[in-house]
Amino acid sequence: MVWPLLHPRMFSRWSESLGMKIFLLLSLFLVSCSSPRPLRTVGQVSLARYAGHWHEITRLPNAFQRGGSRATADYTAQPDGSICVVNTEHRPDGTTRTATGRATVVEGSGGSRLRVKFAGLASLVPAAAEGNYWIIDLAPDYSAALVGTPDRKFLWLLSRSASMAPSTQGRYLRRARDEGFDTTRLISPASVPHG
């Protein structure tokens, strides 16, 4: 007598069914492990209030800012609804480097997701349709902002002043960590002159 599962037809049906279930479960597990949940942003941003001068408090390392430098950003609202962006890198040796760009609002984002394009060679890098500047958290008085990218490779904590209380900084960084950013890699360069 052949055990039913070893009978070729029964075994085939059983293995296809079980195999499919295992495959589906494994696929769901891998997807849930490899893809973080979608990055949440603030609901609504008044770009007129967001415009102005910002200081970088901390950031994730990136290829376009030197490790020991800090940055300031100046955002100016334009009549067409876009924002003129002027980022200034303040280097420890006292020199500065400026990058100018333009930010446009991603439709349906309430102003919390922007598509930023810079001039020069940086203009050759495409900006994702979903935007590359997401406002993850924002103080009610627009005095601080947590900004990142949906792939969680870039993160900046910005403030209207050159320093931030440790308790306030801790609250924003907890939010970043909760959203899946690797806050153990953050750079907080020694204080250098801010423009």
pLDDT tens, residue by residue, 24-54:
344 434 333 445 688 999 999 999 999 999 9
Contact 25, 130 (CB under 8 A): no
Distance CA(109)–CA(107), nearest Å, equals 6
The domain 47-185: what is its CATH number?
A: 2.40.128.20
Question: Would you place residue 17 in the very low, low, confident or very high pLDDT band (cuts 50, 70, 90)?
Answer: low
The reported pLDDT for the residue numbered 123 is 54
Contact 55, 70 (CB under 8 A): yes
Beta bridge mates, 75: 52, 85
**Tens digit of each residue's pLDDT (9 = 90 or more) over 132-181:** 999 999 999 999 999 999 999 999 999 999 999 999 999 999 999 999 99
Longest dimension (CA), the chain: 88
Query: Can you read off the two tokens belonging to residue 129?
Result: 């349709």
Distance CA(153)–CA(61), nearest Å, equals 9
**Domain residue limits, the chain:** 4-34, 47-185
The reported pLDDT for the residue numbered 4 is 43
Spell out the residues 6+ positions from residue 122 whose beta carbon is closer than 8 angstroms to its own: 64, 99, 101
Q: Which residue has the higher pLDDT, 70 or 194?
A: 70
Spell out the residues 6+ positions from residue 138 whose beta carbon is closer than 8 angstroms to its own: 42, 45, 50, 144, 145, 146
Q: Is the pLDDT of residue 119 over 70?
A: yes
Distance CA(40)–CA(134), nearest Å, equals 9
The reported pLDDT for the residue numbered 195 is 45
Question: Would you place residue 9 in the very low, low, confident or very high pLDDT band (cuts 50, 70, 90)?
Answer: low
Distance CA(55)–CA(195), nearest Å, equals 9
Closest C-alpha to 82, from 115, 130, 121: 115
Mean pLDDT of the chain: 82
Mean pLDDT of 185-195: 65
Q: Which residue has the higher pLDDT, 124 or 188?
A: 188
Predicted model pTM: 0.77
